[in-house]
């Protein structure tokens, strides 16, 4: 799945909502405390388990999912959670965030921020409660999820604070690891944010997926993340081509750095350029960062 780039107008609208929250908190230092955010926004948080549905067996006053209204039918909510393998959800009329308690703590932080994102984007409440044709289309769903992700990233990474810190270091996985600790977020979310926001003008390509040498299959990469500069200048190679490129330089290590290499990519005009690829395996995902270096030098014969 590729990252969705929002329009400038939409990103600006969401950015203003996030700015209100951060100003309401007194422009806090990193890492952001989500307890403070919930208190400011008067949001409630609860947990659920797909194994024990006792928490979900409460009356949900009004919620529509796939054209079915949940009224006095809390078991329908559990059915939806299981069917779509949800990790978190937001119930707008109750101002309640529900988190899957089985998820690791670090992932719960992102999931909670994502649902807070839904709560602060003004037009999401109607879309989430509605059952009209537009709100149920895959395109609309992808758009509102991308908007909630953007809001979560703006919150957790304190808007320009992250960009400033990221630009103070080079575009490398070492920089991503350092920023991960500073802002208290996962390696994967820091990696994603770094590619989308840092070093504007530098084409960068990120891949999140399986260990390239230990796990094979058609779904080698769960996510492919393009920086705005990369998207403007390049097309993403096929998954098969990317898998060959990455596995060609990676080792068999079970964790940590897997290797690096210069990799040629073709731009939209058919010209070849060199990217520096490096990969790191955090024992869950392999993160690969490709950063633009230079045009490919043509050999000239005499």
Question: What digits encode the pLDDT tens for the residues 113-172?
Answer: 999 999 999 988 776 544 444 444 667 778 888 999 999 999 999 999 999 999 999 999
Say if residue 255's pLDDT is above 90. Answer: yes
Count CB atoms within 10 A of the CB of residue 61.
11
The predicted pLDDT at position 245 comes to 96
**Total number of domains in the chain:** 2
Side-chain half-sphere CA neighbours of 166 within 13 A:
26
More confident residue, 104 or 130: 104
pLDDT band at 37 (very low <50, low <70, confident <90, very high): very high
The predicted pLDDT at position 138 comes to 67
- For the chain, the farthest-separated pair of C-alpha atoms sits apart, in whole angstroms, at 83
Whether residue 1 lies inside any domain: the answer is: no
> What CATH number has the domain bearing residue 265?
3.30.450
Q: What do you get for the CA distance between the two ends of the chain, in Å? A: 46
Same domain, 18 and 140: yes
Same domain, 118 and 246: no
The predicted pLDDT at position 276 comes to 98
Find, among 149, 166, 156, 152, the residue nearest to 2 by Cα: 149
Mean pLDDT of 229-255: 95
Mean residue pLDDT across the chain: 85
The predicted pLDDT at position 287 comes to 97
What is the tens place of the pLDDT at every residue in 185-215?
999 999 999 999 999 999 999 999 999 998 8
Same domain, 78 and 27: yes
The predicted pLDDT at position 129 comes to 47
**Contacts (Cβ under 8 Å, ≥6 apart) of 134:** 140
Same domain, 224 and 264: yes
User: For the chain, what percent of residues have pLDDT higher than 90?
Assistant: 65
What is the tens place of the pLDDT at every residue in 51-72?
655 555 543 433 444 334 444 4
Give the domain-ending residue among 98, 131, 156: 156
Whether residue 2 lies inside any domain: the answer is: no
Q: Domain containing 260: what range?
A: 160-295
Give the domain-ending residue among 127, 156, 185: 156
How far is it, in rounded angstroms, from Cα 279 to Cα 289?
6
Same domain, 23 and 152: yes
Tell how far CA 155 is from the center of its chain. Answer: 13
Tokens of 213: 């040498």
How far is it, in rounded angstroms, from Cα 228 to Cα 128?
29
């Amino acid at each position: 799945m590729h990252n969705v780039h929002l329009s400038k107008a939409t990103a600006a609208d969401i950015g203003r909502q996030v700015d209100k929250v951060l100003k309401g908190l007194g422009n806090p230092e990193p890492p952001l405390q989500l307890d403070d955010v919930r208190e400011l926004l008067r949001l409630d948080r609860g947990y659920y388990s797909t194994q024990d549905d006792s928490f979900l067996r409460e009356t949900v006053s009004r919620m529509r999912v796939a054209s079915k209204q949940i009224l006095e039918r809390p078991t329908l909510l559990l059915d939806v959670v299981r069917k779509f393998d949800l990790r978190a959800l937001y119930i707008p009329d109750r101002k309640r965030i529900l988190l899957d308690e089985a998820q690791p703590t670090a992932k719960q932080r992102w999931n909670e921020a994502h649902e807070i994102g839904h709560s602060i984007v003004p037009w999401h409440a109607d879309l989430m409660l509605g059952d009209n044709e537009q709100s149920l289309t895959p395109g609309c769903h992808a758009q509102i999820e991308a908007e909630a992700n953007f809001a979560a990233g703006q919150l957790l990474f304190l808007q320009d604070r992250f960009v400033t810190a990221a630009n103070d270091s080079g575009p490398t996985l070492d920089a991503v690891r350092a920023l991960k600790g500073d802002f208290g977020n996962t390696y994967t979310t820091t990696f994603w944010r770094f590619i989308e926001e840092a070093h504007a003008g530098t084409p960068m390509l990120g891949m999140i997926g399986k260990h390239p040498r230990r796990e094979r299959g058609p779904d080698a990469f769960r996510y492919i993340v393009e920086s705005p500069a990369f998207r403007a200048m390049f097309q993403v190679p096929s998954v098969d081509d990317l898998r060959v490129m990455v596995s060609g330089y990676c080792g068999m290590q079970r964790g940590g750095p897997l290797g690096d290499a210069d990799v040629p990519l073709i731009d939209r005009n058919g010209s070849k350029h060199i990217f520096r690829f490096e990969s790191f395996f955090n024992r869950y995902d392999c993160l690969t960062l490709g950063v633009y270096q230079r045009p490919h030098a043509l050999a000239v014969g005499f």
